[in-house]
Chain A
Amino acid sequence: MIRFENVSKRYPGGREALRGVSFHLERGEMAFLTGPSGAGKSTLLKLVTLIEKPTRGTVIVNGQNTSRLSRRAIPRFRQRIGVVFQDHKLLYDRSVFDNVALPLVILGLGPREIERRVRAALDLVGLLGHERDAPITLSTGEQQRVGIARAVASRPDILVADEPTGNLDPELSLEIMRLFERFNEVGVTLLIATHDLDLIERFDKRRLRLVDGLIESDTAAPGRAA
Protein backbone atom coordinates (compact mmCIF):
# COMPACT_ATOMS: atom_id res chain seq x y z
CA MET A 1 0.00 0.00 0.00
CA ILE A 2 2.86 2.33 0.88
CA ARG A 3 6.21 1.41 -0.61
CA PHE A 4 9.42 3.44 -0.24
CA GLU A 5 12.35 2.36 -2.40
CA ASN A 6 15.68 3.90 -1.51
CA VAL A 7 14.05 7.28 -0.95
CA SER A 8 16.08 10.39 -0.28
CA LYS A 9 14.80 13.88 0.31
CA ARG A 10 17.05 16.88 0.20
CA TYR A 11 15.51 20.29 0.89
CA PRO A 12 16.68 23.42 -0.87
CA GLY A 13 19.62 24.60 1.18
CA GLY A 14 21.14 21.17 1.32
CA ARG A 15 19.56 19.65 4.42
CA GLU A 16 19.05 15.96 3.77
CA ALA A 17 15.97 14.83 5.70
CA LEU A 18 15.86 11.27 4.38
CA ARG A 19 18.82 9.26 3.14
CA GLY A 20 17.86 6.12 1.29
CA VAL A 21 14.77 4.89 3.12
CA SER A 22 13.12 1.65 2.05
CA PHE A 23 10.11 -0.11 3.55
CA HIS A 24 6.80 -1.56 2.52
CA LEU A 25 3.55 -1.24 4.37
CA GLU A 26 1.02 -3.84 3.26
CA ARG A 27 -2.64 -3.14 2.69
CA GLY A 28 -4.43 -3.28 6.03
CA GLU A 29 -1.23 -2.94 8.02
CA MET A 30 -0.74 -0.51 10.89
CA ALA A 31 2.68 0.83 11.79
CA PHE A 32 4.20 3.38 14.14
CA LEU A 33 6.91 5.67 12.89
CA THR A 34 9.20 6.62 15.77
CA GLY A 35 12.46 8.41 16.28
CA PRO A 36 13.82 11.63 17.75
CA SER A 37 12.58 14.94 16.45
CA GLY A 38 14.41 15.98 13.33
CA ALA A 39 14.87 12.35 12.28
CA GLY A 40 12.69 12.85 9.20
CA LYS A 41 9.31 11.51 10.38
CA SER A 42 7.35 14.51 9.14
CA THR A 43 9.22 14.52 5.85
CA LEU A 44 8.39 10.86 5.35
CA LEU A 45 4.69 11.53 5.93
CA LYS A 46 4.83 14.51 3.58
CA LEU A 47 6.14 12.21 0.88
CA VAL A 48 3.16 9.89 1.46
CA THR A 49 0.63 12.73 1.20
CA LEU A 50 2.45 14.29 -1.74
CA ILE A 51 3.12 17.55 0.02
CA GLU A 52 6.69 16.81 -1.05
CA LYS A 53 8.19 14.68 -3.78
CA PRO A 54 11.33 12.58 -3.24
CA THR A 55 14.67 13.89 -4.49
CA ARG A 56 15.75 10.33 -5.28
CA GLY A 57 14.11 6.93 -5.08
CA THR A 58 10.50 5.90 -5.54
CA VAL A 59 7.45 6.40 -3.35
CA ILE A 60 4.49 4.24 -4.33
CA VAL A 61 1.20 4.92 -2.56
CA ASN A 62 -2.00 3.12 -3.44
CA GLY A 63 -0.28 1.71 -6.52
CA GLN A 64 0.75 5.15 -7.79
CA ASN A 65 4.29 6.40 -8.21
CA THR A 66 4.05 9.84 -6.60
CA SER A 67 6.91 11.24 -8.68
CA ARG A 68 4.94 10.63 -11.84
CA LEU A 69 1.69 12.22 -10.69
CA SER A 70 0.90 15.53 -12.36
CA ARG A 71 -0.23 18.55 -10.38
CA ARG A 72 -3.75 17.99 -11.61
CA ALA A 73 -3.80 14.41 -10.38
CA ILE A 74 -2.79 15.29 -6.81
CA PRO A 75 -6.28 16.19 -5.46
CA ARG A 76 -7.77 12.86 -6.51
CA PHE A 77 -4.77 11.10 -5.01
CA ARG A 78 -5.22 12.91 -1.70
CA GLN A 79 -8.93 12.19 -1.60
CA ARG A 80 -8.06 8.57 -0.86
CA ILE A 81 -5.75 9.40 2.02
CA GLY A 82 -6.91 10.62 5.39
CA VAL A 83 -4.45 12.86 7.23
CA VAL A 84 -4.39 13.77 10.91
CA PHE A 85 -2.19 16.67 11.93
CA GLN A 86 -0.61 17.47 15.25
CA ASP A 87 -2.07 20.99 15.08
CA HIS A 88 -5.45 19.65 13.85
CA LYS A 89 -5.60 22.12 10.93
CA LEU A 90 -9.30 22.76 11.50
CA LEU A 91 -11.13 25.68 9.92
CA TYR A 92 -12.04 27.82 12.88
CA ASP A 93 -14.65 29.90 11.10
CA ARG A 94 -16.75 26.82 10.41
CA SER A 95 -18.73 24.51 12.64
CA VAL A 96 -17.57 21.04 13.66
CA PHE A 97 -20.06 19.63 11.18
CA ASP A 98 -18.69 21.71 8.28
CA ASN A 99 -15.13 20.76 9.15
CA VAL A 100 -15.85 17.06 9.07
CA ALA A 101 -18.02 17.49 5.98
CA LEU A 102 -15.25 19.23 3.99
CA PRO A 103 -13.75 16.14 2.30
CA LEU A 104 -17.25 14.86 1.56
CA VAL A 105 -18.25 18.16 -0.02
CA ILE A 106 -15.11 17.93 -2.14
CA LEU A 107 -16.20 14.47 -3.23
CA GLY A 108 -19.50 16.06 -4.26
CA LEU A 109 -21.73 13.86 -2.15
CA GLY A 110 -25.36 14.84 -1.65
CA PRO A 111 -26.43 16.62 1.54
CA ARG A 112 -28.16 13.54 2.98
CA GLU A 113 -25.16 11.32 2.45
CA ILE A 114 -22.86 13.99 3.90
CA GLU A 115 -25.09 14.36 6.96
CA ARG A 116 -25.14 10.60 7.48
CA ARG A 117 -21.39 10.15 7.14
CA VAL A 118 -20.48 13.17 9.27
CA ARG A 119 -22.69 11.88 12.08
CA ALA A 120 -21.18 8.41 11.74
CA ALA A 121 -17.64 9.84 11.91
CA LEU A 122 -18.45 12.07 14.90
CA ASP A 123 -20.09 9.13 16.62
CA LEU A 124 -16.93 7.12 16.09
CA VAL A 125 -14.78 9.72 17.86
CA GLY A 126 -17.40 10.29 20.57
CA LEU A 127 -18.39 13.80 19.54
CA LEU A 128 -21.94 13.23 18.38
CA GLY A 129 -24.04 16.19 19.51
CA HIS A 130 -21.23 18.70 18.92
CA GLU A 131 -22.06 19.27 15.23
CA ARG A 132 -23.06 22.92 15.66
CA ASP A 133 -20.17 23.79 18.00
CA ALA A 134 -17.33 26.02 16.89
CA PRO A 135 -14.03 24.09 17.06
CA ILE A 136 -12.48 26.81 19.21
CA THR A 137 -14.95 26.03 22.02
CA LEU A 138 -13.71 22.44 22.22
CA SER A 139 -10.76 21.14 24.23
CA THR A 140 -7.51 20.21 22.45
CA GLY A 141 -8.36 16.52 22.68
CA GLU A 142 -11.79 17.14 21.23
CA GLN A 143 -10.34 19.24 18.43
CA GLN A 144 -7.93 16.44 17.64
CA ARG A 145 -10.88 14.05 17.48
CA VAL A 146 -12.69 16.42 15.09
CA GLY A 147 -9.56 16.27 12.93
CA ILE A 148 -9.65 12.48 13.06
CA ALA A 149 -13.36 12.43 12.20
CA ARG A 150 -12.57 14.60 9.18
CA ALA A 151 -9.76 12.25 8.14
CA VAL A 152 -11.96 9.15 8.25
CA ALA A 153 -15.28 10.63 7.08
CA SER A 154 -14.48 9.94 3.44
CA ARG A 155 -13.50 6.33 4.29
CA PRO A 156 -9.97 6.56 2.95
CA ASP A 157 -7.84 3.53 2.17
CA ILE A 158 -4.90 5.03 4.01
CA LEU A 159 -4.69 7.11 7.17
CA VAL A 160 -1.51 8.91 8.11
CA ALA A 161 -1.10 10.79 11.37
CA ASP A 162 1.70 13.12 12.41
CA GLU A 163 2.05 13.15 16.21
CA PRO A 164 -1.71 12.84 16.70
CA THR A 165 -1.31 12.64 20.47
CA GLY A 166 1.42 15.24 20.73
CA ASN A 167 -0.52 17.64 22.93
CA LEU A 168 -2.70 15.18 24.81
CA ASP A 169 -2.55 13.65 28.27
CA PRO A 170 -1.77 9.91 28.48
CA GLU A 171 -5.38 8.89 28.97
CA LEU A 172 -6.63 10.78 25.91
CA SER A 173 -3.63 9.59 23.91
CA LEU A 174 -4.48 5.99 24.65
CA GLU A 175 -8.09 6.61 23.69
CA ILE A 176 -7.07 8.04 20.35
CA MET A 177 -4.64 5.22 19.59
CA ARG A 178 -7.42 2.74 20.38
CA LEU A 179 -9.54 4.61 17.87
CA PHE A 180 -6.84 4.19 15.23
CA GLU A 181 -6.64 0.52 16.09
CA ARG A 182 -10.35 0.17 15.42
CA PHE A 183 -9.95 1.77 11.99
CA ASN A 184 -7.20 -0.72 11.30
CA GLU A 185 -9.54 -3.54 12.26
CA VAL A 186 -11.92 -2.51 9.46
CA GLY A 187 -9.11 -2.60 6.91
CA VAL A 188 -7.62 0.88 6.85
CA THR A 189 -3.85 1.06 6.35
CA LEU A 190 -2.32 3.32 9.02
CA LEU A 191 1.03 5.01 9.41
CA ILE A 192 1.34 6.98 12.64
CA ALA A 193 4.33 9.12 13.55
CA THR A 194 4.83 9.46 17.28
CA HIS A 195 7.60 9.86 19.83
CA ASP A 196 5.46 8.46 22.65
CA LEU A 197 7.21 5.11 23.13
CA ASP A 198 5.37 4.26 26.35
CA LEU A 199 2.10 4.58 24.50
CA ILE A 200 2.98 2.34 21.57
CA GLU A 201 4.35 -0.28 23.96
CA ARG A 202 0.70 -1.06 24.64
CA PHE A 203 -0.03 -1.87 20.99
CA ASP A 204 0.98 -4.97 19.17
CA LYS A 205 2.02 -3.23 15.94
CA ARG A 206 4.96 -2.85 13.60
CA ARG A 207 7.49 -0.10 14.42
CA LEU A 208 9.71 1.82 12.07
CA ARG A 209 12.43 3.71 13.89
CA LEU A 210 13.90 6.60 11.96
CA VAL A 211 17.17 8.18 13.05
CA ASP A 212 18.98 10.89 11.16
CA GLY A 213 17.14 10.18 7.90
CA LEU A 214 17.76 6.43 7.99
CA ILE A 215 15.59 3.51 9.09
CA GLU A 216 17.46 2.31 12.16
CA SER A 217 15.16 -0.56 12.95
CA ASP A 218 12.02 -2.09 11.47
CA THR A 219 10.44 -4.25 14.12
CA ALA A 220 7.53 -6.46 13.25
CA ALA A 221 4.60 -6.53 15.62
CA PRO A 222 6.01 -8.14 18.79
CA GLY A 223 3.00 -10.40 19.06
CA ARG A 224 3.48 -11.81 15.61
CA ALA A 225 7.20 -12.30 16.07
CA ALA A 226 6.65 -14.33 19.20
Chain B
Amino acid sequence: MTRSLRRYLSLHAQSFASAAASLARQPIATLMTALVIAIALALPAGLRVLVGNASSIVGSWDTAVDFSAYLAAAVAPERAREIAEDIRRRADVEAVRLVTPDEALADFRARSGFGEALDALGENPLPYTLVVRPASGAAGDVEGIAAALREIDEVELVQLDTEWVERLRALLGLAARVLDVITALLAVGVALVVGNTIRLEILNRAAEIEVIKLVGGTDAFIRRPFLYLGLFYGFAGAVGAAVLIAVVLELLAEPTAAVAALYGSDFRLAGLSAGDAAVLFAGGALLGLAGAALATARHLRAIEPR
Protein backbone atom coordinates (compact mmCIF):
# COMPACT_ATOMS: atom_id res chain seq x y z
CA MET B 1 0.00 0.00 0.00
CA THR B 2 1.37 3.38 -0.91
CA ARG B 3 2.08 5.92 1.75
CA SER B 4 -0.50 8.42 0.55
CA LEU B 5 -3.23 5.79 0.36
CA ARG B 6 -2.44 4.67 3.88
CA ARG B 7 -2.55 8.29 4.98
CA TYR B 8 -5.91 8.74 3.26
CA LEU B 9 -7.39 5.61 4.84
CA SER B 10 -6.09 6.55 8.25
CA LEU B 11 -7.75 9.98 7.94
CA HIS B 12 -11.02 8.32 6.98
CA ALA B 13 -10.85 5.86 9.84
CA GLN B 14 -10.29 8.79 12.19
CA SER B 15 -13.23 10.75 10.76
CA PHE B 16 -15.44 7.67 10.96
CA ALA B 17 -14.53 7.15 14.62
CA SER B 18 -15.08 10.83 15.36
CA ALA B 19 -18.55 10.76 13.79
CA ALA B 20 -19.48 7.58 15.65
CA ALA B 21 -18.27 9.11 18.90
CA SER B 22 -20.34 12.26 18.43
CA LEU B 23 -23.44 10.10 17.85
CA ALA B 24 -22.74 8.03 20.94
CA ARG B 25 -22.33 11.18 23.05
CA GLN B 26 -26.00 12.05 22.60
CA PRO B 27 -27.86 8.76 22.10
CA ILE B 28 -31.39 10.12 22.63
CA ALA B 29 -31.02 12.97 20.15
CA THR B 30 -29.43 10.58 17.67
CA LEU B 31 -32.31 8.16 18.07
CA MET B 32 -34.94 10.87 17.62
CA THR B 33 -33.32 12.15 14.43
CA ALA B 34 -32.96 8.63 13.07
CA LEU B 35 -36.63 7.99 13.88
CA VAL B 36 -37.79 11.11 12.04
CA ILE B 37 -35.79 9.99 9.03
CA ALA B 38 -37.11 6.44 9.42
CA ILE B 39 -40.71 7.63 9.31
CA ALA B 40 -40.05 9.87 6.33
CA LEU B 41 -38.46 6.95 4.48
CA ALA B 42 -40.97 4.35 5.66
CA LEU B 43 -43.92 6.27 4.22
CA PRO B 44 -42.96 6.07 0.53
CA ALA B 45 -41.19 2.73 0.89
CA GLY B 46 -44.16 1.20 2.72
CA LEU B 47 -46.68 2.56 0.21
CA ARG B 48 -44.50 1.16 -2.53
CA VAL B 49 -44.68 -2.27 -0.92
CA LEU B 50 -48.48 -2.02 -0.76
CA VAL B 51 -48.79 -0.88 -4.38
CA GLY B 52 -46.38 -3.67 -5.29
CA ASN B 53 -48.64 -6.15 -3.57
CA ALA B 54 -51.69 -4.80 -5.36
CA SER B 55 -49.87 -4.97 -8.68
CA SER B 56 -48.89 -8.54 -8.02
CA ILE B 57 -52.56 -9.42 -7.48
CA VAL B 58 -53.53 -7.71 -10.73
CA GLY B 59 -50.55 -9.26 -12.43
CA SER B 60 -51.66 -12.72 -11.41
CA TRP B 61 -54.83 -12.13 -13.44
CA ASP B 62 -52.80 -11.77 -16.59
CA THR B 63 -53.38 -15.40 -17.45
CA ALA B 64 -57.05 -15.21 -16.59
CA VAL B 65 -58.05 -13.29 -19.68
CA ASP B 66 -60.84 -15.62 -20.73
CA PHE B 67 -63.62 -13.66 -22.29
CA SER B 68 -67.11 -14.36 -23.45
CA ALA B 69 -68.91 -13.87 -26.75
CA TYR B 70 -72.68 -14.10 -26.63
CA LEU B 71 -74.44 -15.29 -29.75
CA ALA B 72 -77.83 -14.05 -30.82
CA ALA B 73 -80.72 -15.93 -29.24
CA ALA B 74 -81.94 -17.27 -32.58
CA VAL B 75 -78.71 -19.00 -33.60
CA ALA B 76 -79.11 -22.68 -34.28
CA PRO B 77 -76.97 -25.17 -32.33
CA GLU B 78 -75.16 -26.31 -35.51
CA ARG B 79 -74.23 -22.75 -36.42
CA ALA B 80 -73.03 -22.13 -32.87
CA ARG B 81 -70.76 -25.18 -33.04
CA GLU B 82 -69.49 -24.02 -36.44
CA ILE B 83 -68.56 -20.61 -35.11
CA ALA B 84 -66.84 -22.21 -32.11
CA GLU B 85 -64.83 -24.41 -34.49
CA ASP B 86 -63.80 -21.41 -36.61
CA ILE B 87 -62.55 -19.51 -33.64
CA ARG B 88 -60.79 -22.52 -32.16
CA ARG B 89 -58.73 -22.85 -35.37
CA ARG B 90 -57.17 -19.42 -34.92
CA ALA B 91 -53.48 -19.54 -33.96
CA ASP B 92 -53.91 -16.97 -31.18
CA VAL B 93 -56.66 -18.94 -29.49
CA GLU B 94 -55.83 -21.65 -27.05
CA ALA B 95 -59.29 -23.03 -26.36
CA VAL B 96 -62.93 -22.29 -26.91
CA ARG B 97 -65.70 -23.68 -24.76
CA LEU B 98 -69.23 -23.62 -26.08
CA VAL B 99 -71.79 -23.13 -23.34
CA THR B 100 -75.28 -24.15 -24.35
CA PRO B 101 -78.28 -22.17 -23.09
CA ASP B 102 -79.24 -25.12 -20.90
CA GLU B 103 -75.82 -25.29 -19.29
CA ALA B 104 -75.79 -21.54 -18.78
CA LEU B 105 -79.20 -21.66 -17.16
CA ALA B 106 -78.20 -24.51 -14.86
CA ASP B 107 -75.06 -22.64 -13.92
CA PHE B 108 -76.97 -19.43 -13.30
CA ARG B 109 -79.59 -21.26 -11.24
CA ALA B 110 -76.89 -22.85 -9.11
CA ARG B 111 -74.92 -19.70 -8.52
CA SER B 112 -77.38 -16.85 -8.39
CA GLY B 113 -80.00 -18.15 -6.01
CA PHE B 114 -82.72 -16.88 -8.40
CA GLY B 115 -83.83 -20.44 -9.15
CA GLU B 116 -87.51 -19.86 -8.47
CA ALA B 117 -87.57 -16.63 -10.42
CA LEU B 118 -86.13 -18.48 -13.37
CA ASP B 119 -88.83 -21.11 -13.09
CA ALA B 120 -91.35 -18.35 -13.62
CA LEU B 121 -89.92 -17.69 -17.06
CA GLY B 122 -91.61 -19.70 -19.75
CA GLU B 123 -88.52 -20.43 -21.74
CA ASN B 124 -84.75 -20.17 -21.41
CA PRO B 125 -83.74 -16.60 -22.30
CA LEU B 126 -80.04 -17.38 -22.44
CA PRO B 127 -78.12 -17.66 -25.73
CA TYR B 128 -75.20 -19.81 -26.73
CA THR B 129 -71.99 -18.48 -25.23
CA LEU B 130 -68.41 -18.90 -26.40
CA VAL B 131 -65.83 -18.75 -23.63
CA VAL B 132 -62.56 -17.97 -25.39
CA ARG B 133 -59.10 -18.43 -23.88
CA PRO B 134 -56.45 -16.58 -25.91
CA ALA B 135 -53.02 -18.16 -26.35
CA SER B 136 -51.39 -15.15 -24.69
CA GLY B 137 -52.58 -12.49 -22.30
CA ALA B 138 -51.21 -9.66 -24.43
CA ALA B 139 -53.77 -6.91 -24.87
CA GLY B 140 -53.24 -6.81 -28.64
CA ASP B 141 -53.99 -10.51 -29.08
CA VAL B 142 -57.12 -10.30 -27.00
CA GLU B 143 -58.32 -7.29 -28.97
CA GLY B 144 -57.60 -9.10 -32.25
CA ILE B 145 -59.74 -12.09 -31.34
CA ALA B 146 -62.49 -9.86 -30.00
CA ALA B 147 -62.51 -7.89 -33.26
CA ALA B 148 -62.71 -11.07 -35.31
CA LEU B 149 -65.64 -12.26 -33.21
CA ARG B 150 -67.49 -8.97 -33.56
CA GLU B 151 -67.37 -9.33 -37.33
CA ILE B 152 -69.38 -12.52 -37.19
CA ASP B 153 -73.05 -11.61 -37.75
CA GLU B 154 -74.41 -14.04 -35.22
CA VAL B 155 -72.23 -12.67 -32.43
CA GLU B 156 -74.32 -10.22 -30.53
CA LEU B 157 -71.94 -9.12 -27.76
CA VAL B 158 -68.27 -9.60 -26.98
CA GLN B 159 -67.60 -8.97 -23.35
CA LEU B 160 -63.96 -8.47 -22.49
CA ASP B 161 -63.79 -9.47 -18.82
CA THR B 162 -60.33 -7.95 -18.75
CA GLU B 163 -61.50 -4.39 -19.16
CA TRP B 164 -61.88 -3.72 -15.48
CA VAL B 165 -58.47 -5.29 -14.89
CA GLU B 166 -57.06 -2.81 -17.36
CA ARG B 167 -58.78 0.01 -15.54
CA LEU B 168 -57.42 -1.18 -12.21
CA ARG B 169 -53.99 -1.48 -13.73
CA ALA B 170 -54.25 2.09 -14.99
CA LEU B 171 -55.27 3.23 -11.52
CA LEU B 172 -52.30 1.42 -10.03
CA GLY B 173 -50.09 3.13 -12.61
CA LEU B 174 -51.49 6.45 -11.46
CA ALA B 175 -50.90 5.48 -7.83
CA ALA B 176 -47.31 4.57 -8.67
CA ARG B 177 -46.82 7.99 -10.30
CA VAL B 178 -48.27 9.77 -7.26
CA LEU B 179 -45.93 7.67 -5.16
CA ASP B 180 -42.99 8.86 -7.24
CA VAL B 181 -43.90 12.43 -6.41
CA ILE B 182 -44.35 11.63 -2.71
CA THR B 183 -41.05 9.77 -2.71
CA ALA B 184 -39.24 12.71 -4.30
CA LEU B 185 -40.73 15.18 -1.82
CA LEU B 186 -39.94 13.03 1.22
CA ALA B 187 -36.43 12.39 -0.11
CA VAL B 188 -35.86 16.14 -0.18
CA GLY B 189 -37.36 16.24 3.30
CA VAL B 190 -34.93 13.61 4.57
CA ALA B 191 -31.96 15.47 3.08
CA LEU B 192 -33.14 18.69 4.75
CA VAL B 193 -33.69 17.01 8.13
CA VAL B 194 -30.18 15.57 8.03
CA GLY B 195 -28.83 18.90 6.77
CA ASN B 196 -30.42 20.76 9.65
CA THR B 197 -29.16 18.24 12.20
CA ILE B 198 -25.66 18.58 10.79
CA ARG B 199 -25.97 22.36 10.83
CA LEU B 200 -26.74 22.28 14.57
CA GLU B 201 -23.87 19.89 15.12
CA ILE B 202 -21.53 22.26 13.27
CA LEU B 203 -22.67 25.20 15.39
CA ASN B 204 -22.25 23.09 18.55
CA ARG B 205 -18.72 22.29 17.58
CA ALA B 206 -17.72 25.73 16.30
CA ALA B 207 -14.96 26.06 18.92
CA GLU B 208 -13.53 22.70 17.96
CA ILE B 209 -13.68 23.52 14.26
CA GLU B 210 -11.90 26.79 14.95
CA VAL B 211 -9.08 25.01 16.78
CA ILE B 212 -8.75 22.41 14.02
CA LYS B 213 -8.48 25.19 11.46
CA LEU B 214 -5.83 26.89 13.58
CA VAL B 215 -3.62 23.83 13.67
CA GLY B 216 -3.89 23.39 9.91
CA GLY B 217 -6.90 21.14 9.38
CA THR B 218 -8.01 21.23 5.75
CA ASP B 219 -11.62 21.81 4.74
CA ALA B 220 -11.84 18.16 3.71
CA PHE B 221 -10.54 17.05 7.11
CA ILE B 222 -13.12 19.16 8.93
CA ARG B 223 -15.93 18.20 6.59
CA ARG B 224 -15.37 14.44 6.64
CA PRO B 225 -16.73 13.59 10.12
CA PHE B 226 -19.89 15.56 9.33
CA LEU B 227 -20.33 13.71 6.04
CA TYR B 228 -19.98 10.40 7.88
CA LEU B 229 -22.49 11.69 10.40
CA GLY B 230 -24.98 12.36 7.61
CA LEU B 231 -24.29 8.94 6.14
CA PHE B 232 -24.93 7.30 9.52
CA TYR B 233 -28.18 9.20 10.04
CA GLY B 234 -29.45 8.31 6.58
CA PHE B 235 -28.51 4.67 6.89
CA ALA B 236 -29.87 4.33 10.41
CA GLY B 237 -33.09 5.98 9.23
CA ALA B 238 -33.34 3.50 6.35
CA VAL B 239 -32.84 0.55 8.69
CA GLY B 240 -35.49 2.02 10.98
CA ALA B 241 -37.82 2.39 8.00
CA ALA B 242 -37.30 -1.26 7.06
CA VAL B 243 -38.16 -2.28 10.61
CA LEU B 244 -41.26 -0.04 10.63
CA ILE B 245 -42.46 -1.57 7.36
CA ALA B 246 -41.88 -5.10 8.65
CA VAL B 247 -43.86 -4.30 11.80
CA VAL B 248 -46.76 -2.73 9.89
CA LEU B 249 -46.91 -5.67 7.45
CA GLU B 250 -46.92 -8.06 10.38
CA LEU B 251 -49.85 -6.15 11.88
CA LEU B 252 -51.67 -6.28 8.53
CA ALA B 253 -50.90 -9.95 7.88
CA GLU B 254 -53.81 -11.42 9.77
CA PRO B 255 -56.57 -9.09 8.52
CA THR B 256 -55.25 -9.47 4.98
CA ALA B 257 -55.34 -13.23 5.23
CA ALA B 258 -58.91 -13.00 6.55
CA VAL B 259 -60.00 -10.84 3.58
CA ALA B 260 -58.14 -13.10 1.14
CA ALA B 261 -59.85 -16.16 2.64
CA LEU B 262 -63.26 -14.58 2.01
CA TYR B 263 -62.31 -14.33 -1.67
CA GLY B 264 -61.09 -17.91 -1.64
CA SER B 265 -57.48 -16.82 -2.09
CA ASP B 266 -54.39 -17.74 -0.13
CA PHE B 267 -52.84 -14.36 -0.92
CA ARG B 268 -50.22 -13.12 1.55
CA LEU B 269 -48.69 -9.63 1.77
CA ALA B 270 -45.12 -9.62 0.50
CA GLY B 271 -42.56 -7.58 2.45
CA LEU B 272 -39.56 -5.63 1.16
CA SER B 273 -37.58 -7.73 -1.28
CA ALA B 274 -33.82 -7.91 -0.87
CA GLY B 275 -33.47 -5.58 -3.84
CA ASP B 276 -35.96 -3.08 -2.41
CA ALA B 277 -34.17 -3.15 0.92
CA ALA B 278 -30.83 -2.53 -0.79
CA VAL B 279 -32.31 0.46 -2.65
CA LEU B 280 -33.82 1.75 0.61
CA PHE B 281 -30.54 1.48 2.53
CA ALA B 282 -28.43 2.96 -0.26
CA GLY B 283 -31.00 5.69 -0.88
CA GLY B 284 -31.19 6.58 2.81
CA ALA B 285 -27.42 6.71 3.16
CA LEU B 286 -27.05 8.84 0.02
CA LEU B 287 -29.77 11.26 1.12
CA GLY B 288 -28.04 11.63 4.49
CA LEU B 289 -24.76 12.27 2.74
CA ALA B 290 -26.40 14.83 0.46
CA GLY B 291 -27.95 16.64 3.41
CA ALA B 292 -24.63 16.71 5.23
CA ALA B 293 -22.82 17.93 2.11
CA LEU B 294 -25.36 20.73 1.81
CA ALA B 295 -24.95 21.76 5.45
CA THR B 296 -21.15 21.65 5.45
CA ALA B 297 -20.94 23.59 2.20
CA ARG B 298 -23.09 26.31 3.70
CA HIS B 299 -21.87 26.51 7.27
CA LEU B 300 -18.27 25.33 7.65
CA ARG B 301 -16.80 28.25 5.77
CA ALA B 302 -18.34 30.73 8.13
CA ILE B 303 -16.36 29.40 11.08
CA GLU B 304 -12.92 30.96 10.99
CA PRO B 305 -10.45 31.51 13.79
CA ARG B 306 -10.43 35.03 15.18
In whole Å, how far is A15's beta carbon from the nearest beta carbon of chain B? Answer: 15
- Which of A51, A91, A108 sits near B211, CB closer than 8 Å? A91
Q: Is the CB of B214 within 8 A of A78?
A: yes
Binds A, one of B6-14, B104-112, B116-124, B260-268: B6-14
Q: Which of A121-148 contact B (CB under 8 A)?
A: none
Contact present for A72 and B219 (CB under 8 Å) = yes
Tally of A-B Cβ pairs under 8 angstroms: 61
Q: Is the CB of B215 within 8 A of A108?
A: no
A91 contacts B208, C-beta separation under 8 Å: yes
Select B214's contact among A80, A83, A107, beta carbons within 8 Å.
Answer: A83
Instruction: Please measure, in the bound complex, the distance between the C-alpha atom of A218 and the C-alpha atom of B139, giving whole angstroms.
Output: 97
Interface residues of B in 197-229 (CB under 8 A from A): 207-208, 210-219, 221
Number of interface residues of B (CB under 8 A): 23
Residues of A within 8 A of B11 (CB): 105, 108
Q: Does B306 interact with chain A (Cβ within 8 Å)?
A: yes
Specify the chain B residue showing the minimal Cβ separation from A81. Answer: B216
Mask, A68-81, CB within 8 Å of B = 1, is: 00001001111111
Count A interface residues, CB 8 Å: 26
In the assembled complex, A177 has its CB within 8 A of some CB on chain B: no
A17 to chain B, nearest CB (A): 13
Q: Cα distance A109–B13 when bound, in Å? A: 12
B125 contacts chain A at the CB level, 8 A cutoff: no
Q: In the assembled complex, how far is the CB of residue B302 from the closest CB belonging to chain A, in whole angstroms?
A: 13
Further contacts, 17 of them, CB under 8 A, given A51-B306, A79-B216: A51-B214, A75-B213, A75-B219, A78-B213, A78-B215, A79-B215, A80-B216, A89-B214, A93-B208, A102-B217, A103-B215, A106-B212, A106-B217, A108-B10, A109-B7, A110-B6, A111-B10
12 pairs from A and B in contact (CB 8 Å cutoff): A75-B216, A77-B216, A83-B214, A83-B215, A89-B211, A89-B214, A102-B211, A102-B212, A106-B212, A108-B7, A108-B10, A109-B7
